[in-house]
A and B are shown apart, each in its own frame.
Chain A
Amino acid sequence: MSALKIKKGATSHSAYNLRPNFSDVIERHTLAVLVENEPGVLARVIGLFSGRGYNIDSLTVAEVDHTGHLSRITIVTSGTPQVIEQIKAQLGRIISVHKVNDLTVEGSTVERELAMFKVAGKGEHRVEALRLADIFRANVVDSTLESFVFEITGAPEKIDAFADLMRPLGLIEVARTGVAALSRGD
């Protein structure tokens, strides 16, 4: 028995068992991060998420201002409200980051994702795939006698739904871009 009334050899008493007792409701937020388009900037952002144990549900990046060399990174992340606040503050601390916008709290947003689905099949399955694609306004961008490649854009939920429908019809490959998002109105 030691001075701390802890059993000999106990290992569960860590000084690091200190997480604050904040709200533990997990929220999903879409962040738009404007960064300088310079080598390593994506590594800084991703390294922050991995180093501090945050989640990345989706991430897209491309240069949006060619003269100003600015790229927009759209990150969909999830965490408790406190974690989301930390993520935003930590992102803002990166020197290459110009601006962090939390689209989720700044009003309604338009979120779009592009995906391509390769579906292989014959007969009834092939006809059904084409019919569903039409309902979802997916375009056929490649076709053989035994396969289609569909292109679809929409909110991530719509793409998920389309994937669920295609799976029994011979879905063999999916490519998704991740979410791009803008706030509605001005």
Chain B
Amino acid sequence: MTRKMTGAKMIVQALIDQGVDTIFGYPGGAVLPIYDEVFQQNSIKHILVRHEQGAVHAAEGYARSTGKPGVVLVTSGPGATNAVTGLTDALLDSIPLVVLTGQVPTFMIGSDAFQEADTVGITRPCTKHNWLVKETDKLSGVLHEAFHVATSGRPGPVLVDIPKDVQFATGTYTPKAPSTSHYQPQLKGDLEEITELVAAIEKAKRPVFYTGGGVINSGPAASQLLRELVEATGFPITSTLMGLGCYPASGDKWLGMLGMHGLYEANMAMHDCDLMINIGARFDDRITGVVDLFSPKSKKAHIDIDPSSINKVIRVDIPIMGDVAHVLEDLLKVWKSRGRKTNSEAVAKWWKQIEEWRAIDCLKFEQKGKTMKPQYALSRLEALTKKYDRYICTEVGQHQMWAAQYLGFEDPNRWMTSGGLGTMGYGFPASIGVQMAHPDSLVINVAGEASWLMNMQEMGTAVQYNLPVKQFILNNERLGMVRQWQELLHGERYSQSWSEALPDFVKLAEAFGAKGILCKDPDDLDDAIMEMLTHDGPVIFDCLVEKHENCFPMIPSGKAHNEMLLGEADTQGVIDAKGSVLV
């Protein structure tokens, strides 16, 4: 049924038709008609952020924790340009977002009007697609298509730029219908290639599953099928930062995260395997290290819905283009129909080798004295919260890697982190978006103090909506990862990598009307964490940790997976081959 209505009303109507319950935004001149419509309805909840970047990250948190697209509404000019970091972040991590921006009226476009920016021009390289809608009659069609593009194939952010006169004018509203556009990504994988992979699985002596964010983006069925495949074959599985939770951390086939700060056993297995099965990962440079030395002896299969990911960095032997869940379903079917074969004897030997690597216990640390190790803080956080219905966000840096190493994820969509772009300031607003989607769950943002300060204004949002997000700040008064690289690669010249004027985080929390907790003694940590958990409201937890702790294990740049640094590397003098670098 088509109906006449204003463009502004169409926007709200289209969002309702698309099943949107929450939007994140910030009003301004060019979106006032839309905000007027938002005011006059009760179906959609609008969360007023304190900065447009926060709105986009919050929508990312919402999207990643629900599997639904996140929706953002911001004004023209600065509203749109402030959204750019979030858009780029979502593009690199394949997060479905629909971002609506106001624009100056069509007759003023190009005149350098007040708060005018070439929004579609600026956001073209940082969106999956974008539209400037110049006619009200076309608006509803574009909005429905925007949701289709954002969520189909490899998900990503899209942007619809809507001039103010288009919002005021009346036009015909077209309801949501199955998309008829030519953009219909292929979901099923080629059966011949799937069969080739099955044959490789049957013969493999040293196989490993290398999984990534694509498994999570494919939906819960993909994680279920993956678990079934891993259990049935008995092959070891590792995952990228983005894929954590697609296989449970408590599972005995789990090797932990791989990559630059991944676990020793995971990276060694990747290096020495004879069959690498990449499922929804993209051979990112944080994973491969130097590509010439990347897993030299393996046959490589790659399941990805995006053809441009295949053979982009690493040449693979068995490329399978398709959606992870669809491909895994067919893969299991073919494998079972051929008798569920694996080379179990060889795989058992492979596991023996992996157990030897595991025995090195690359994440071990020692908490002694009164200075808190960040690893200890996270181990305690894990122990005290893993029973909860829990969602974890992070900022970017050392704390992010430690969180990935020391926290365990049992399910997909429970881990929100900025992987591809590495956006400091992501975690806090993301935690707000997650908490909006899961009001009764425990949402913790593991942060570094420097990252957290980048979007600290969102404390106002958390307090306004009484969102009990827990900001667990590992405070080392340093830009820890920058400091670590300066120590290792730049002769210990710590250029601009520490904060000389940090706020008192407890007072800061109180100034916003929230609760602040300071913890500096490891003996007080458990009680302090419990105090944070039992407080019904947002908390800033200022956890003072060792200032010069380095994040290990680490594959130094330009090195292969089997050349990891395993910690306690003496950064003052010549490296002790026995203690620091294990081959």
Chain A contacts for B491, CB-based, 8 A: 2, 8-9
Which residues 554-582 of B have a CB within 8 angstroms of A? 556-558, 565, 569-571, 573-575, 580
A130 to B289 CA separation, bound complex (whole angstroms): 62
Q: B145: shortest Cβ distance to chain A, in Å?
A: 9
* Chain B interface, DSSP helix/strand/loop, else mixed: loop
Flag B121-139 by CB within 8 Å of A: 1 or 0 each. 1001100110010000000
Of A40-48, A121-129, A165-173, the stretch lying at the interface with chain B is A40-48
Chain A contacts for B565, CB-based, 8 A: 3-4
A18 touches B488 (CB 8 A): no
A4 touches B489 (CB 8 A): yes
Q: B394: shortest Cβ distance to chain A, in Å?
A: 20
Q: Which bucket holds chain B's interface residue count?
A: 35 or more
B571 touches A2 (CB 8 A): yes
Which residue on A lies nearest to B312, using beta carbons?
Answer: A86
Chain A contacts for B290, CB-based, 8 A: 17-18
Known: A85-B311, A86-B308. A51 touches B291 (CB 8 A): no
Which residue on A lies nearest to B283, using beta carbons?
Answer: A20
Residue A175 at the B interface, CB < 8 A?
no
B489 touches A13 (CB 8 A): yes
Flag A24-60 by CB within 8 Å of B: 1 or 0 each. 0000000000000001100110010001000000000
A16 touches B307 (CB 8 A): no
Which residues 141-156 of B have a CB within 8 angstroms of A? 149
Residue A93 at the B interface, CB < 8 A?
yes
Q: B331: shortest Cβ distance to chain A, in Å?
A: 23
A100 to B311 CA separation, bound complex (whole angstroms): 18
A22 to B312 CA separation, bound complex (whole angstroms): 11
A47 touches B575 (CB 8 A): no
Give the A interface residue count (CB, 8 A): 37
A93 touches B308 (CB 8 A): yes
Chain A contacts for B488, CB-based, 8 A: 2-4, 6
A18 touches B124 (CB 8 A): no
CB-based closest 6 A-B pairs: A8-B491, A89-B308, A15-B557, A3-B569, A95-B129, A89-B307
A3 touches B490 (CB 8 A): no
B489 touches A2 (CB 8 A): yes
Flag A138-164 by CB within 8 Å of B: 1 or 0 each. 000000000000000000000000000
Known: A18-B291, A20-B291. A6 touches B124 (CB 8 A): no
B489 touches A21 (CB 8 A): no
Known: A4-B575, A22-B315. A95 touches B149 (CB 8 A): yes
* Chain A interface, DSSP helix/strand/loop, else mixed: loop
A20 touches B183 (CB 8 A): no
Chain B contacts for A40, CB-based, 8 A: 120-121, 124, 132
A39 to B489 CA separation, bound complex (whole angstroms): 47
CB < 8 Å neighbour of B308 from A1, A19, A90: A90
Residue B306 at the A interface, CB < 8 A?
yes
B306 touches A93 (CB 8 A): yes
Residue A66 at the B interface, CB < 8 A?
no
A46 to B468 CA separation, bound complex (whole angstroms): 46
Known: A20-B315, A21-B292, A43-B124. A15 touches B132 (CB 8 A): no
Q: Which residues of B contact A (CB under 8 A)?
A: 120-121, 124-125, 128-129, 132, 149, 182-183, 260, 285-286, 288-292, 306-308, 310-315, 487-493, 556-558, 565, 569-571, 573-575, 580
Known: A16-B285, A93-B306. A4 touches B124 (CB 8 A): no
Residue A79 at the B interface, CB < 8 A?
no
Chain B contacts for A86, CB-based, 8 A: 308, 311-312
A96 to B260 CA separation, bound complex (whole angstroms): 36
Q: Provide a sorted-by-A list of 19 A–B residue pairs whose CB atoms are within 8 angstroms.
A: A1-B575, A2-B575, A3-B569, A3-B571, A3-B580, A4-B489, A5-B575, A6-B488, A8-B490, A9-B490, A13-B489, A13-B558, A15-B558, A22-B315, A40-B120, A82-B315, A89-B308, A95-B129, A96-B129
Q: B172: shortest Cβ distance to chain A, in Å?
A: 20
B308 touches A92 (CB 8 A): yes
Chain A contacts for B120, CB-based, 8 A: 40
Q: Supply 5 further A-B pairs (C-beta < 8 A) apart from A6-B489, A17-B557, A18-B313.
A: A2-B488, A4-B565, A6-B488, A13-B556, A18-B288
B574 touches A1 (CB 8 A): yes
CB < 8 Å neighbour of B124 from A13, A44, A85, A98: A44
Q: A87: shortest Cβ distance to chain B, in Å?
A: 9
Chain B contacts for A5, CB-based, 8 A: 574-575
Q: Chain B CB within 10 Å — which of A8, A20, A47 has the most?
A: A20
A94 to B153 CA separation, bound complex (whole angstroms): 12
A95 touches B128 (CB 8 A): yes
Which residue on B lies nearest to A34, using beta carbons?
Answer: B182
CB < 8 Å neighbour of B313 from A3, A11, A13, A20: A20
Residue A135 at the B interface, CB < 8 A?
no
B571 touches A43 (CB 8 A): no
Chain A contacts for B286, CB-based, 8 A: 15
Chain B contacts for A1, CB-based, 8 A: 573-575
Q: A156: shortest Cβ distance to chain B, in Å?
A: 28
Chain A contacts for B291, CB-based, 8 A: 18-21
